[in-house]
Amino acid sequence: MAAKKDYAAMCSAIVSACGGEQNIANVAHCMTRLRLQLKDASTFDESAAKAVSGVIGLVVQNGEYQFVIGQDVPSLYEEFLKIESIAAGGSVDDPQTAKVDHKDHGSVVNAILSFLGGTFSPVIPVIVAGGLTGAVLTLLVNFCGVSSDSGTYQFFSCINQATFYFLPVFIGFSAAQRLKSNGYLGAFLGAVLLFYTIGQGNDTVYDFFGLAVPAVSYNSTVFPVILGVLLMNVAYRWFQRVLPEVLRTVFVPLLTMLVTVPVTLLVLGPIGYTAGTVLADVLINVYRACPAVAVAFVGCFTPFLVFFGMNNALYPLQFILMAEVGSDPLICAGMTAANLAVAGACLAAAAVETKVEERSVAVGAGVTAMCSITEPGVYGVLFTKRFPLVGAMIGGCIGGIIAGITGMTQYVITACSFIAFPAYIGADGSLTNLALALTVMAVSLACAFVSTFVLGKRAAIKEQTAE
């Protein structure tokens, strides 16, 4: 049995490795990672950070220091909340006080993916809860006799629909927080887009000083509000800098929105909507051209996305697919194969491991990977021993090929594993896709287990021969 973690000691050690509490600009967390931004990156002690007991891995992206902890990361986060000098939730009180070093943190593409991943990470609990509520609704209607006209149905449907209809509000808040701007103004922008969408539904035609505002529905979209928040951040910081301090409280938010809203509704929103539509067409055409290869690619290389903290950056693509085809036969299908393959590789690594402590780590990582949390396995097993990584890639690739050939899909965006089995049941109650999903999971796990076991035995023989 693993020893109970001392979160207070972990917090103290991480703070020390980061150059002290006065050097930490802000702290936030996602499902498995503690995310810190520092004022002076030169004081960060990477070796000490990696050596902290309880830290599975460390990822540094565009000025953000991600400590991979596991599903118990909220307990560690609570210790940071006790430090009054550290801002929580990814925000900084004065945008001019925290000068985070962004030098040498990767390419423009890496910065974009990091921004998207950091934006969607805090929203994951909302997406998972809303998505699974839709899956539960499918079970209630098709297997529990709940009528679509009943109050029970409306109750669960309200939770599910609100999650995705108001997605621009959640994304607006999170994107602004990610940029260390005003999160509430980001949410306000999302609400404005949705109100405009409601107006379009009432056949209201808008013009702005003679300029026709394009009729676009922004509910459930992500790119329009993200582009708007990027502009809002620039305007907010400029007004914050040029206006006298006595006027900032009233006029900074007012002028920021007066600039941001018209430009977003006239230009950025339609551009984001069009870009999403084009990207959806590209994804769908790639999938239709060669579904087995497309899904196998996702299944094979998902561990690398997790390792570099880029897996959450795929959420915009998943929402696009959901909007266009009503399910995700590409990203979610590939990740389902990948997650179970990671589980199989970790369990096989445990089977060939002779050290009790490392075997315990591998078993725990395998179990959590079955529940769609793969960071412990990726950082603690796959990339430390290497042969489990190869085994997981083989299992994910084979599972992805089967998923692509059979057309296996996922009907709601939530965890990609057997614990979210209702997500694979069709709206009409058909269990065919669920059977396909369980087959993909079983094959992925089994192939990864066998591949990793064989590779592990060979590695052990080589080590014995070398000795």
315-330 pLDDT, tens per residue?
A: 888 888 888 888 999 9
Question: Which residues, given as ranges, of the chain have pLDDT below 70?
Answer: 1-3, 88-107, 199-205, 466-467
Among the options 30, 332, 346, 397, which is catalytic? 30
Torsion of CA 152, 434, 123, 111, to 10 degrees: -160
| 144 labelled catalytic | no
pLDDT (0 to 100) of residue 103 = 45
Q: What pairing do the DSSP bridges indicate for beta strands 24-29 and 33-38?
A: antiparallel
pLDDT (0 to 100) of residue 128 = 80
Q: Is 210:238 a contact under the CB 8 Å cutoff?
A: no
Neighbours of 344 (CB within 10 A): 34
Q: Which two tokens stand for residue 426?
A: 């069709």
Cα(164)–Cα(384) distance, rounded to whole angstroms? Answer: 38
Domains and their CATH numbers in the chain: 7-105 (3.30.1360.60), 166-283 (no CATH), 290-466 (no CATH)
Please tell me whether residue 66 adopts helix, strand or coil conformation. Answer: strand
pLDDT (0 to 100) of residue 342 = 96
**pLDDT tens digits, one per residue of 323-372:** 888 899 999 999 999 999 999 999 999 999 888 878 888 998 899 899 88
Burial of 374 (0-12, 13-18, 19+ CB in 10 A): buried
Global confidence as pTM = 0.73
